[in-house]
Amino acid sequence: MAHPKTISVNGRDYRWPEAPTVVICCDGSEPAYMELAIARGLMPNVERMIAKGVDLRGQSVIPSFTNPNNLSIVTGQPPKVHGISGNYFYDRATKQEVMMNDAKYLRAPTIFEAFHKAGAKIAVVTAKDKLRALLGNGLTFGNSKTVCFSSERADQCTLDKNGIDDVLQMVGMTLPEVYSLELSELVFAAGAKLMHRMRPDLMYLSTTDYIQHKYAPDTPGANAFYIMMDRYIGELDAAGAIIVLTADHGMKDKHINGAPDVVYLQDVLDGWLGAGKSRVILPITDPYVVHHGALGSFATVYLEDGVDAAAVIQRIAALRLIQTVVSGAEGCAMFDLPEDRLGDIIVVSRDTKVIGTSHSRHDLAALKEPLRSHGGITEQTIPIIVNRRVSTMQQPLHNYDAFAIGLNHAVSAAEAA
Amino acid sequence: MAHPKTISVNGRDYRWPEAPTVVICCDGSEPAYMELAIARGLMPNVERMIAKGVDLRGQSVIPSFTNPNNLSIVTGQPPKVHGISGNYFYDRATKQEVMMNDAKYLRAPTIFEAFHKAGAKIAVVTAKDKLRALLGNGLTFGNSKTVCFSSERADQCTLDKNGIDDVLQMVGMTLPEVYSLELSELVFAAGAKLMHRMRPDLMYLSTTDYIQHKYAPDTPGANAFYIMMDRYIGELDAAGAIIVLTADHGMKDKHINGAPDVVYLQDVLDGWLGAGKSRVILPITDPYVVHHGALGSFATVYLEDGVDAAAVIQRIAALRLIQTVVSGAEGCAMFDLPEDRLGDIIVVSRDTKVIGTSHSRHDLAALKEPLRSHGGITEQTIPIIVNRRVSTMQQPLHNYDAFAIGLNHAVSAAEAA
């Protein structure tokens, strides 16, 4: 089938792929993980990629959480455009905390949808099912050209809903636990198999950061993950794919001598304003909290009518626990966020600090290791590793430039020669 | 001459070098400069170093200024130990602003001094003369084993004071202007020549960040610098040296649409407290201000007796211009700084913000390009590139681990095989 030379989506043009183009979003992959694993000689395939390609750093969007960044990568735009500013927002009209896992909250088409409509073959594999619906929005199945599923539900895939029904057999694995290295391994294993089986035009592989929350860079637990990842990346590279390896966000220690370094902001605000005058929303909150206790470095605060936002901002700033505390409008302008999905105040905490709501609402008993988390500016630096040289691009790079890099800026061997 | 197996200095042990060990401090080398120059294929020698070695990131000390970091690199310790917390401190006893370019302010021996006393051959070349006295402290000359000079005074070197008297002839250059790429080029050119002439045990090459203040990453002005540097690094590598390439600090845009993004903190404090009640010290200040107008992202404030420091901290925090504002004691604990050389308050500004004293005391007329500067946490990430694999080290790495990396952790080809 004839295809267009370029596809336009969300105001950016993307060239039709000259080779299968794979973007890997390695969840929580603070640059030090790969820097140090490579330094130990544990990632020979990524090291070869770098030798023939480039090893760059870029920025995640703020909040440096999973969903805002995954959706940014697959739409090529910040949350201001696609609307997914976190896992939760507060609907003032209905007074409900609303979870944004449903595709109805997505305000922009994905790059996949646009290429799919033009006849491209698309493969999307993500670790947790919470992302699948958002990433696969606008895709249709049963056409042998589209695959989209999560490792978490790899045993429930159907041709009608996922474009594939034999995932576990294909990869030769049993269904992994949600909290496991294998949940991410299945993403890569499926990617490598699908590369050969369907040779997609675009592939997106998105892992989960369970390991990165648990283990710091240069530890055996972390290195086991990167050794595993490197093996599959080697297969994709050998198959001739253009590979852009990036991350949704970084990951940092959020404890002092093992104790979580938490500010329970709802408790603080209730103390100042009285109960019921403010509502702290932590957009990191989701049904899977074992590995981070819903503690991250970004929060937004909704205030009841009559509460003086400027005065509250000033008092939060004076806590000195905080990197940035600004009005919702200022913060949305600063971080390219959608104003209607954030509150009256945006708070980003610094260094090891994380923000909680009320002490009583965080169950930290499940945290077996010292807290590591993300959400702030301190977790904004992410790797952008490409297995080809790249032509000049506007700086600074963002992870949501990944498809533009792979499709428009990765220089083919022929061009480079 | 027999030499000891290890040298102990400032509480750390360093192995005697098995090959000439070169630490390069590339002033203001924000990681993106080399990432992007390598991506363009402009640094083939550094790229080869990385292929056989490692490409890491580490942290500078805060304040992310030149002297505190150069002295940290050459002592292997933060400013708390060596005392050089900036270019200036305020002496409360004499009520004088004191410049710390003199070696009498240095509280720790350098790694060079310790190796020199044990008979090692040492070569130290720095761009500006302001650093030479500090870096060369404790070295003796006229023994054919020690060379220490600055590009700035390359024409005034003597065997008695510098261990060399033919620098310009040796490198085949005329004396460069202070504000030039050539001032740094002379550092590298001399390093390459000295590697052959004296084959030093330890070499330290420290450039100036005039180019980095002026030009952003991936611009022709910046790339010309890195192309130049790469050529000389290739010579050092070919000579069999162990090379650790790091930086004193990063460098970021400090303007909004071309206008410097300055908070004149002395004016603010005078407005709050009245004149003469506070004194803002900018440790970036030095006699060379053309390229940054003495504007950086770190300041310390001295208060007159009777002024309530906690209240001032709270008001500064409420400016929301600030990343961190803490008491002198807290800041010194946080950043490993010497309490007696900092004031009652430490202020680090965020993003593009820089801190000035009074508007009238900063002459920005000489700034021909939009302001780029450093000093803050935003400029703390620095490259650590080594032309050998390295064994496991405590994380996070700092630039002041550079000699430990080169001497103790760089794995020889024999060990790696």
Residue A395 with chain B: CB contacts under 8 Å: 32, 36, 216-218
Closest residue in B to A252 (Cα–Cα): B396
pLDDT at B293: 79
pLDDT at A289: 61
Of B57, B323, B350, the CB nearest to A32: B57
Comparing A8-22, A36-50, A280-294, B42-56, which segment has the lowest mean pLDDT? Answer: A280-294
Closest residue in A to B54 (Cα–Cα): A39
Q: How close B215 comes to chain A (CA, Å)? A: 13
Of B32, B218, B395, the CB nearest to A392: B218
- Pick from A42, A46, A55, A353 the residue to mutate for testing the B interface (most B CBs within 10 Å): A55
Structure tokens at A116: 């799919």
What structural domains and CATH numbers belong to chain B?
Answer: 6-251+377-416 (3.40.720.10), 255-373 (3.30.1360.110)
- Pick from A54, A322, A334 the residue to mutate for testing the B interface (most B CBs within 10 Å): A54
Of B40, B50, B350, the CB nearest to A323: B350
Residue B41 with chain A: CB contacts under 8 Å: 389
Query: Is the Cβ–Cβ distance between B262 and B297 less than 8 Å?
Result: no
Residues B51, A51: C-beta atoms closer than 8 Å: yes
Q: How close B35 comes to chain A (CA, Å)? A: 6
Q: How close A130 comes to chain B (CA, Å)? A: 33
Q: Categorise residue B259: left if φ over 0, alpha if ψ from -120 to 50, beta otherwise.
A: beta
Determine the Cα angle at B304 with ends B298 and B308, to 5°.
80
Q: Tell me which residues of chain A have a C-beta less than 8 Å from any C-beta of chain B.
A: 31-32, 35-36, 38-41, 47, 50-51, 54-57, 216-218, 313-314, 317-318, 320, 323-326, 350, 381, 389-390, 392, 395-396
**Distant-in-sequence, close-in-space partners of A255: CB < 8 Å, separation ≥ 6:** A261, A352, A370, A371, A372
Quote the CA–CA distance of B169 and B176 in Å, as a whole number.
13
Residues B41, A389: C-beta atoms closer than 8 Å: yes
Closest residue in A to B348 (Cα–Cα): A323
Residue A255, helix vs strand vs coil: strand
Q: Tell me which residues of chain B have a C-beta less than 8 Å from any C-beta of chain A.
A: 31-32, 35-36, 38-41, 47, 50-51, 54-57, 216-218, 313-314, 317-318, 320, 323-326, 350, 381, 389-390, 392, 395-396
Residues A54, B31: C-beta atoms closer than 8 Å: no
pLDDT at B289: 61
Tens digit of each residue's pLDDT (9 = 90 or more) over B297-349: 999 999 999 999 999 998 898 776 677 888 999 999 989 999 999 999 999 99
Of B36, B317, B390, the CB nearest to A318: B317
Mean pLDDT of A105-117: 98
pLDDT at B410: 92
- Calculate the alpha carbon distances from A119 to A113, A116, A197, B301 in Å: 10, 5, 18, 64
- Pick from A312, A320, A322 the residue to mutate for testing the B interface (most B CBs within 10 Å): A320
- Among B296, B207, B260, B222, CA closest to B32: B222
Of B55, B317, B381, the CB nearest to A320: B317
Per-residue pLDDT of chain B (417 residues; tens, 9 = 90+): 589 999 999 999 999 999 999 999 999 999 999 999 999 899 999 999 999 999 999 999 999 999 999 999 999 999 999 999 998 899 988 988 888 989 999 999 999 999 999 999 999 999 999 899 999 999 999 888 999 999 999 999 999 999 999 999 999 999 999 999 999 999 999 999 999 999 999 999 999 999 999 999 999 999 999 999 999 999 999 999 999 999 999 999 999 888 999 999 999 999 999 999 999 999 988 766 656 778 999 999 999 999 999 999 988 987 766 778 889 999 999 899 999 999 999 999 988 999 999 988 887 777 788 999 999 999 999 999 999 999 878 878 999 999 999 999 998 755 655
Quote the CA–CA distance of B243 and B45 in Å, as a whole number.
12
**Distant-in-sequence, close-in-space partners of A311: CB < 8 Å, separation ≥ 6:** none
Residues B57, A35: C-beta atoms closer than 8 Å: yes
Dihedral angle computed from the Cα positions of residues B73, B77, B78 and B84, in that order, rounded to the nearest 10 degrees: -70
Residue A414 has pLDDT above 60, yes or no: no
Quote the CA–CA distance of B318 and B169 in Å, as a whole number.
57
Quote the CA–CA distance of B288 and B302 in Å, as a whole number.
24
Task: Say yes or no: ipTM exceeds 0.95.
Answer: no
Tell whether pTM > 0.90: no
My answer on whether omega of the bond before B217 falls inside 30° of 0, hence cis, is: no
pLDDT at A218: 92
Structure tokens at A243: 């590979």
- Among A249, A370, A279, CA closest to A96: A279
Amino acid at B416: A
Residues B320, A320: C-beta atoms closer than 8 Å: no
Burial of B259 (0-12, 13-18, 19+ CB in 10 A): exposed
Residue A326 with chain B: CB contacts under 8 Å: 320
Residue A417 has pLDDT above 60, yes or no: no
pLDDT at A293: 79
pLDDT at A366: 74
How many of the other CB atoms lie within 10 Å of CB of A33?
28
pLDDT at A2: 81
Q: What DSSP letter does each residue of B245-288 carry, written as one string?
A: EE-S---EE-EETTEE-EEEHHHHHHHHH-TTSEEEE-TT--S-
Residue A57 with chain B: CB contacts under 8 Å: 31-32, 35, 57
Burial of B182 (0-12, 13-18, 19+ CB in 10 A): middle
- Pick from B30, B46, B56 the residue to mutate for testing the A interface (most A CBs within 10 Å): B56
User: What mean pLDDT value characterizes chain A?
Assistant: 93
Amino acid at B220: P
pLDDT at B413: 59
pLDDT at A354: 95
Residues B32, A396: C-beta atoms closer than 8 Å: yes
- Pick from B34, B46, B57, B244 the residue to mutate for testing the A interface (most A CBs within 10 Å): B57
Closest residue in A to B36 (Cα–Cα): A56
Residues A320, B323: C-beta atoms closer than 8 Å: no
Structure tokens at A417: 């020669």
Q: How big is the A-B interface in CB pairs under 8 Å? A: 78
How many of the other CB atoms lie within 10 Å of CB of A172?
8
Residues A36, B325: C-beta atoms closer than 8 Å: no
Of A35, A325, A395, the CB nearest to B218: A395
